[in-house]
Amino acid sequence: MKLGVFDSGIGGEAVADALRKTFPEAEVLVVNDRANIPYGGKTPAHILRLTDAAIQPLLARTCDVIILACNTATALAIDALRQKYPAQKFIGIEPMVKTAAALTKTKTIAVCATKATLSSARYARLVRDHATGLQIIEPDCGEWASLIENNRMNRTHIERTINAVCEQGSDVIILGCTHYHWIKRLITDLAAGRAAVIEPSEAIGRRVKALLADP
């Protein structure tokens, strides 16, 4: 089995590590587009062009599944890529709104994601379909991906954000960008039991199994 993973930057490596643990027999190929990060502030058309160009090595290697390990690329490019490459199986990553809605007791959740993801039609559908009646806090995380990519993130910067969403009643924090997976432990520590911190690494493995089992 050959799995391809794409992300704009280092976030894809976290997803690839999880896939290697789930599928030890698989060849996991990873590509990124670090020359053009961050994706979060770019237009939908630009994100589609960049994503299409970046996944060409994975298409050339005939991967069984290509995982867009980028919430922004999933939100703005995956539908067009599925139309352009109908023989290729794609899996995208989206903020875990449905899971958060099932977990929350306070009816308040926080979604940490890029501006492009939060303004996308796919995210709007997730909220409409699964979060009716919930208060959703969307803190400004616009600089996080670049800071993480360049190893410049600091605890104080994150602490202010996490304290703010917890003080507003969030008991579930969604990490809606794979870059943020690298600081999940820090965010969990800062939440200090006030909120569960969720991201889709394990769910991706289950989705790969289901997709490959589907004829």
Are the C-beta atoms of 177 and 145 separated by less than 8 Å?
yes
Residue 201 has pLDDT above 90, yes or no: no
Helix (H, G, I), strand (E, B) or coil at 148: helix
To the query of whether residue 70 is one of the catalytic residues in this protein, the response is yes
- Structure tokens given for 27: 């060849």
Are the C-beta atoms of 95 and 174 separated by less than 8 Å?
yes
Q: Is the pTM of this model over 0.75?
A: yes
pLDDT band at 215 (very low <50, low <70, confident <90, very high): low
Strand 196-198 and strand 172-175: the pairing is parallel
To the query of whether residue 63 is one of the catalytic residues in this protein, the response is no
pLDDT digits (tens, 9 = 90+) for 141-193: 988 888 888 888 878 889 999 999 999 999 999 999 888 888 999 999 999 99
The DSSP annotation for 1-43 comes to: -EEEEEESSTHHHHHHHHHHHH-TTSEEEEEE-GGG---TTS-
| CA angle, 97 then 134 then 112, to 5° | 45
Closest CA to 111 of 101, 121, 102, 5: 101
Using the CB atoms, write b or e for 121-140: b if 16+ within 10 Å: ebbeebbeeebeebebbbbe
Residue from 63, 70, 112, 141 carrying the catalytic annotation: 70
- Residue 57, CB-side half-sphere exposure with 13 Å CA sphere: 10
Distance of CA 18 to the CA centre of its chain: 14
Q: What is the rounded CA–CA span in Å between residue 84 and residue 78? A: 10
- Residue 192, CB-side half-sphere exposure with 13 Å CA sphere: 7
pLDDT digits (tens, 9 = 90+) for 16-38: 998 999 999 999 999 999 999 88
List of domains in the chain: 2-93+201-213 (3.40.50.1860), 97-198 (3.40.50.1860)
Q: What is the rounded CA–CA span in Å between residue 91 and residue 167? A: 35
Residue from 63, 141, 166, 177 carrying the catalytic annotation: 177
- Structure tokens given for 45: 């058309």
pLDDT digits (tens, 9 = 90+) for 1-15: 999 999 988 888 888
